[in-house]
Amino acid sequence: MPPTLAFDVYGTLIDTHGLIPLLGEMAGEETAPVLSRIWREKQLEYSFRRALARDYVTFATCTRQALDYACATLGVRLTPAERDSLLERYRTLPAFPEVPGALARLQDSGARLYAFSNGTREAVEQLLRAAGIRDAFLDVVSVDAVSSFKPDPAVYAHFLAQAGARADRTWLVSGNPFDVLGADHAGWHTVWVQRDAAQVFDPWGHEPEQVVSDLNGLTRLATTWG
């Protein structure tokens, strides 16, 4: 059975800080990076909290509520039109520059490529198509089907069922340490995409099997998946 590569989407393939230039126009250039960081941190925190509380809403709702929190924290007053524009643009965030080429090379390696995301299937399909990378994947697997979020063990079991894959032949590729740890707990192989050299992996006593600085590094690892 060829190896299965499950790619996280937000923060791994797609740049979640891709709206900083637009945020700069609305909130000021100095505020924009801080606003983007708080927005992303709260988006993930809300998904964790809702999964634990079994109070599921879609990832888009977490995103909207996190934006409202970030703006309130920094005293940024968006008009309704600006808020709507940001949320609409979030549906078409850009891919990181090396992603299209790296995915094309990985397709040639014989591995089975899937997108695996907290976003709904519809949202992820739109995001990948807008970035021009949807055709790289056999399918999109969303946590929405089990009404929870990563790193709930149920979502990793759901992926295996949907992809017809075995844990010991599946690699998670993610830029998010919590996702890597969740997949490791589920018995998967793991690759951490450490795009920021200053980012620290959580010291939980479980390290990713491989660390790469971007997706180009994956093509150099393809022989280890055999």
Class of domain 4-15+93-225: alpha beta
Residue 224 has pLDDT above 90, yes or no: no
What's the pLDDT at 1?
79
Packing angle of the helix pair 59-74, 31-53 (nearest 10 deg): 130
What distance in Å separates the CA atoms of residue 93 and residue 20, rounded to the nearest whole number? 11
- At residue 201, the 3 state secondary structure works out as coil
Report pLDDT for 109.
86
pLDDT exceeds cutoff 60 at 226: no
Q: What is the pLDDT of residues 127-140, one digit of tens each?
A: 999 999 999 999 99
pLDDT score of 163 more than 60: yes
The H-or-E segment that residue 170 falls in is strand 170-174
Nearest-angstrom CA–CA distance, 13 and 7? 8
Which value, in Å, is the radius of gyration of the alpha carbons in the chain?
A: 17
Average pLDDT, the chain: 96
The stretch 177-197 carries a mean pLDDT of 97
CA-CA distance, 186 to 190, in Å (whole number)?
A: 11
Which tens digits make up the pLDDT trace of 37-54?
A: 999 999 999 999 999 999
Assess contact for 186 and 157: CB atoms under 8 A.
yes
* Set 8, 15, 152, 179: catalytic member: 8
Percent of the chain with pLDDT over 70: 98
Q: Which tokens sit at 190?
A: 């793991």
pLDDT tens for each residue of 17-37: 999 999 999 999 999 999 999
Q: How many angstroms separate the Cα of 168 from the Cα of each of 65, 152, 158, 160? A: 37, 18, 15, 11
List pLDDT tens digits, range 165-180.
999 999 999 999 999 9
Q: How confident is the model at residue 223 (pLDDT cuts 50, 70, 90)?
A: low
Alpha helices in the chain (DSSP H): 20-27, 31-53, 59-74, 80-89, 99-107, 121-130, 153-163, 177-185, 216-221
pLDDT tens-digit profile of 74-127? 999 999 999 999 999 999 999 999 999 999 999 988 899 999 999 999 999 999
Decide if 55 is catalytic: no
Q: What is the mean pLDDT of residues 178-183?
A: 98
The region, left, alpha or beta by phi > 0 then psi within -120 to 50, assigned to residue 210 is beta
Q: Which pLDDT value is given to residue 219?
A: 78
Class assignment of domain 20-92? mainly alpha
Give the global pTM. 0.95
Inform me whether the pLDDT recorded for 64 exceeds 60: yes
With 70 as the cut, is the pLDDT of residue 225 above it?
no
Q: How far apart are CA 219 and CA 108, in angstroms?
A: 10
* CA–CA dist 63, 223 (Å, integer): 38
- Domain parsing of the chain, residue ranges: 4-15+93-225, 20-92
